[in-house]
Amino acid sequence: MYEQLVAPLNIHFQSAYNRLTDSPLAIISEVNNHVHSTQGKQLRPLLTMLSACCCGFPLDVEADHPIFAITAAIETLHSSTLIHDDVVDNSDTRRGQPSVNSRWGNKVAVLVGDFYLAKVMQTLNKVDNKEITSIINDAVIQMSEGELLQQQHSGNYSADSDIYLAIIERKTASFMAACCQVGATFATSDKQLREQARLFGINIGLAFQIRDDILDYQPSSVSGKPQGNDLREGKCTLPLIYALSHSNDETREKILTLLKKTPLSDTNIQTIIKMVDENGHLTYASKTLNHYLTLAHNALQKLPDNKYREALIELTEKLNKPIIH
């Protein structure tokens, strides 16, 4: 439903996105083709366009309207962060396909990610909207801080939920908040509407990441990705935090003993997942997810009542589907 509502805008966005990273260099063209062929649902440009339309942005704007250059920059920025993340995490795959670093090597991956960032900066300069530029720049700073904070606490199994939430608010939620705020900014000068759009984005971003972290404990048939990746990478996500802080001493020590094994075997991972699941800690994490979905829904109620708001509500409810099996 929600993709269809902004279809007229999406046509111009896709065209701008395809043009943004054009280069005469064959290596960049090859990577572009690979990135575009393995891209996800382009959630962040979608949030930008739906937020804009919800706040009164028209569908019949010309193809050269700056919103399309900015949504293209947003998706390119997202691609850049994913490429760099895969290098940092030594990931061989992205959405079931070879990652850029596994196919072309770390040097090319880092440099193409930098090229994408430069293209984003160039686009922001061309659009020359100080408010939009400030929102996106602040989000980039937040994302960088979030990644560094996560690296700082890698393998820190005494981390609490406050540290975890600080990490995911910066690395994931801040960008979604920026997308929604940018969309509202294109549509209206009403600061209250812009703020509610931002609040919706921050809370749906927190819920999105918590859901993704819960999915790490689910079978690949449910999550669509290898089970236990976060455990392998030493990430202390919410289900594990709850398990370590709410289990009895015996269970907690068993989990910590297994986590100290390097590298973690598949058997070790399955044992940890079983202990986390059997003690109800995935349910605790799901309750936290639902808390942020409620906050996101509350923010939406303060935006104009129209079909675009209904689409954002539908998108929110999609994150609320049961994922514990």
Q: Which structural domains are found in the chain, ordered by start?
A: 2-318 (1.10.600.10)
The percentage of residues in the chain with a pLDDT greater than 90, rounded to a whole number, is: 79
Mean pLDDT of the chain: 93
Residue 103, φ and ψ in degrees, nearest 5: -90, -40
Query: How far, in Å, CA of 85 to CA of 83, rounded?
Result: 5
Q: Are 172 and 209 in contact (CB under 8 A)?
A: yes
Q: How confident is the model at residue 262 (pLDDT cuts 50, 70, 90)?
A: confident
Query: How far, in Å, CA of 309 to CA of 48, rounded?
Result: 12
Q: Which of 27-31, 89-93, 182-186, 273-277 has the lowest mean pLDDT?
A: 89-93
Which residue in this structure is represented by tokens 């079931």? Answer: 96
- pLDDT per residue over 92-107, tens digit each? 888 888 999 999 999 9
Q: What integer is the mean pLDDT of 249-258?
A: 93
Query: How far, in Å, CA of 318 to CA of 299, rounded?
Result: 17
Residue 26, φ and ψ in degrees, nearest 5: -60, -40
Which residue in this structure is represented by tokens 């196919």? Answer: 103
- pLDDT per residue over 38-63, tens digit each? 888 899 999 999 999 999 999 999 99
**pLDDT for 325:** 43
- C-alpha atoms less than 13 angstroms from C-alpha of 120 in its C-beta half-sphere: 21
Positive/negative CA dihedral, 26, 116, 132, 2: positive
Structure tokens at 61: 């704007």
- pLDDT per residue over 194-210, tens digit each? 999 999 999 999 999 99
Beta strands in 238-324 (DSSP E): none
Query: How far, in Å, CA of 286 to CA of 314, rounded?
Result: 19
Query: How far, in Å, CA of 92 to CA of 89, rounded?
Result: 9
Query: How far, in Å, CA of 206 to CA of 291, rounded?
Result: 10
- pLDDT per residue over 265-278, tens digit each? 999 999 999 999 88
